[in-house]
Amino acid sequence: MSVEKLPTRDAGDPRVAEVARTTKETDISVEVNLDGTGVYDVDTGIGFLDHMLEQLSRHSLIDLKVRAKGDLHIDFHHTTEDSGYAVGEAISLAMGDRRGIRRYGDALIPMDETLTRVALDASNRPFLVWWVPFTRPKLGDMDTELFQEWYRAFAQSAGLTLHVETLYGENNHHMIESCYKGLARALRVAVEIDPRRRDDVPSTKGVLGGSMSE
């Protein structure tokens, strides 16, 4: 089995990264600090998406700066999806070879009548399971179907096996906000450095990635 060679991260190295992603449809820059305090500075041109990315930063304690310009005159699809790719890539780069991380994280997030469960494995094997039964096609000006596109892109580029399930709920705003808060809390645990294993990659093979069990 061959796996992608990622930069080795020595204990004490700053876990920061910058990503620039430019296509004919979008121009996006992202900066992250995995060991931050949840400071955010987000401007995607999509108000609701900004709000969700701010929640992601605040509750994960990952400092996050996002600047995105996209073809919003067409629709929000490209900007939403590409921002997921860019934020995920920055988080993956900041983890490096994922040495010392706890790797797994989960959260159960209540928000009024809604309850959402998020579980993830920072395995460098991307996979998304998404079960969020929206009952409205839009939240404000944003199509609710676009949130799955963001999560799929994010899981792919961050290298996460990611399961998101709204167990019950009625208010669609509460549903998606509990998803982002759940992702934030699960991610906070998964990327945190385990002080007992800070010099080890959390896998019996010594690497994360590929299709075999680890």
Looking at the domain assignment, is residue 8 inside a domain?
Answer: no
42: its two tokens: 């987000």
pLDDT value of residue 205 = 54
pLDDT value of residue 72 = 94
Q: Which domain holds residue 134?
A: 16-191
Looking at the domain assignment, is residue 7 inside a domain?
Answer: no
- CATH code of the domain covering residue 147: 3.30.230.40
Looking at the domain assignment, is residue 2 inside a domain?
Answer: no
Looking at the domain assignment, is residue 148 inside a domain?
Answer: yes
pLDDT value of residue 212 = 40
pLDDT value of residue 197 = 79
Q: Residue 146: how many CB atoms within 10 A of its CB?
A: 21
Looking at the domain assignment, is residue 207 inside a domain?
Answer: no
pLDDT value of residue 196 = 81
Looking at the domain assignment, is residue 3 inside a domain?
Answer: no
pLDDT value of residue 9 = 56
Looking at the domain assignment, is residue 210 inside a domain?
Answer: no
Looking at the domain assignment, is residue 203 inside a domain?
Answer: no
Q: CA-to-CA distance for 162 and 184, rounded, in angstroms? A: 12
Report the number of distinct structural domains present in the chain.
Answer: 1
Q: CA-to-CA distance for 79 and 180, rounded, in angstroms? A: 17
pLDDT value of residue 211 = 45
pTM value is: 0.90
Task: Name the residue among 84, 98, 15 with its Cα closest to residue 46.
Answer: 84
pLDDT digit string (tens) for the chain, length 214 residues: 233 445 565 656 789 999 999 999 999 999 999 999 999 999 999 999 999 999 999 999 999 999 999 999 999 999 999 999 999 999 999 999 898 899 999 999 999 999 999 999 999 999 999 999 999 999 989 999 999 999 999 999 999 999 999 999 999 999 999 999 999 999 999 999 988 877 665 554 555 565 444 4
pLDDT value of residue 210 = 55
pLDDT value of residue 3 = 35
**Please, where are the H alpha helices in 45-204?**
47-60, 77-95, 145-158, 172-191
Q: CA-to-CA distance for 176 and 3, rounded, in angstroms? A: 34
